[in-house]
Amino acid sequence: MGRELRIAVIGAGPAGIYTADTLMKSGTPCSIDLFDRLPAPFGLVRDGVAPDHPRIKGIVGALHGVLSRPGVRLFGNVAYGRDLSLSDVRMLYDAVVVATGCERDRDLDIPGIDLPGSHGAADFVKWFDGHPDVPRDWSLGARHVGVIGAGNVALDVARVLAKQAEDMLVTEIPDNVHRGLAANRATDVHVFARRGLAQARFTPTELRELDRRSTRCPAPCPTPRAGSSTSTTSTSPASTPAAGSSADPSG
Ligand SMILES: Cc1cc2nc3c(=O)[nH]c(=O)nc-3n(C[C@H](O)[C@H](O)[C@H](O)COP(=O)(O)OP(=O)(O)OC[C@H]3O[C@@H](n4cnc5c(N)ncnc54)[C@H](O)[C@@H]3O)c2cc1C
């Protein structure tokens, strides 16, 4: 083919942007249009990775570099399936790559999962990352919180709930999230894993971070107190058929 290829990438998260990067470096002359349903790019790096993990969020620098290249364009606020159909992109582009990620929690089929106070971790992490899809207010009225799952997301949720709100001020959390965390009444955060530590999916770094957190207490609290705890509990598969991460951070 004599002319440069026109390629559409749906989803401007890391997968979509690295796809653009790889295509631009491939030596095949091409131009790339990225479409995202949100006004801003970077997907779950912006709206999922915990705010107190600035080193990981720092990859947005590299992703931004790709978006700044000549031949790469970003169109925000364009939802595939709503504003753009497959026939539209097929008509306008030589190829289309769909990189829309995984935005929903895996279903957890246990009795009571739909009761008030039971939430999927996806919504909770979106709240503390200021994602536009979730309400701005989240009432953290529960004293005892169970986090089901033993991956990095579960530990992110447990750590954020166990931290002092002030410790999060060095991060980019929005004001409404800081207010919500300052009103957090949790005294005990329990992480439930269906198998043993050897099968845990979190990294040692995430686990160590739980140990380094400063203690949190229900406001007002004049001195750092003993009693705000995070425990990791390993249970049998029969008693906790956990799949994925589910948090219960409400009152
Ligand atoms: C709480 C949490 C913590 C994490 N912590 C870490 C970590 O510490 N280290 C690490 O390496 N990884 C971490 N991850 C994983 C990492 O964020 C993901 O692996 C990565 O973001 C996946 O990239 P992606 O591009 O496939 O999907 P996403 O990041 O989800 O990007 C998909 C993009 O597609 C867009 N989109 C969706 N539907 C449409 C549509 N219909 N039309 C147009 N656009 C659409 C979305 O708006 C989004 O921008 C974490 C994830 C979560 C949830």
Query: What is the token pair recorded at 44?
Result: 């779950």
Q: Which of 115-119, 202-206, 240-244 has the highest mean pLDDT?
A: 115-119
Mean pLDDT of the chain: 87
- Is the pLDDT assigned to residue 128 strictly greater than 50? yes
Provide the edge-to-edge strand list for the sheet that holds 246-247: 119-120, 246-247, 144-148, 188-193, 229-234
Cα 41 to the chain's mean position, in Å? Answer: 14
Instruction: Name the token pair of 183.
Output: 């009103």
CATH class of the domain at 5-98:
alpha beta
The pTM assigned to this predicted structure is 0.85
Taking CA atoms only, the protein residue closest to ligand 1 atom 10 is 56
**Burial tier of 185 (Cβ tally within 10 Å: 0-12, 13-18, 19+):** middle
Fold of the domain spanning 119-247: FAD/NAD(P)-binding domain (3.50.50)
**Running DSSP on this structure, what letter comes out for residue 215?**
P
More reliable by pLDDT, 233 or 10: 10
CB 8, CB 89: distance < 8 Å: yes
Tokens of 166: 């002030």
| Percent helix / strand / coil, the chain, rounded to 5 | 30, 15, 50
φ/ψ (deg, to 5) at 192 = -105, 125
Q: Which residue has the tokens 């779950």?
A: 44
Q: How many CA within 13 A on the CB side of residue 63?
A: 23
Establish how many alpha carbons lie within 13 A of residue 50's alpha carbon, considering only the half-sphere containing its beta carbon. Answer: 18
What pLDDT score was predicted for residue 197? 86
Q: Rounded mean pLDDT of 1-28? A: 95
Whether residue 185 is predicted with pLDDT greater than 80 in this model: the reply is yes
CA atoms lying within 13 Å on the CB side of residue 74: 22
C-alpha to C-alpha distance for 213 and 81, rounded to whole angstroms:
43
Higher-pLDDT residue of 98, 229: 98
153 within ligand 1 shell (Cβ under 6 A):
yes
The verdict on the CB of residue 100 being under 6 Å from ligand 1 is yes
Return the pLDDT at 11.
Answer: 98
Q: How far is the CA of 251 from the centre of ligand 1 (A)?
A: 28
Q: Which atom of ligand 1 is nearest to the CA of 18?
A: 25
pLDDT band at 220 (very low <50, low <70, confident <90, very high): very low
Domain spans, the chain: 5-98, 119-247
Asked if 32 contacts 7 with a C-beta cutoff of 8 angstroms, the reply is: yes
User: In the 8-state DSSP scheme, what is residue 170?
Assistant: G
Q: Is 219's pLDDT higher than 70?
A: no
Whether the CB of 101 sits within 6 Å of ligand 1: yes
Q: Is the pLDDT of residue 215 over 60?
A: no
Q: What would the two tokens of residue 103 be?
A: 């935005």
Cα 123 to middle of ligand 1, angstroms: 13
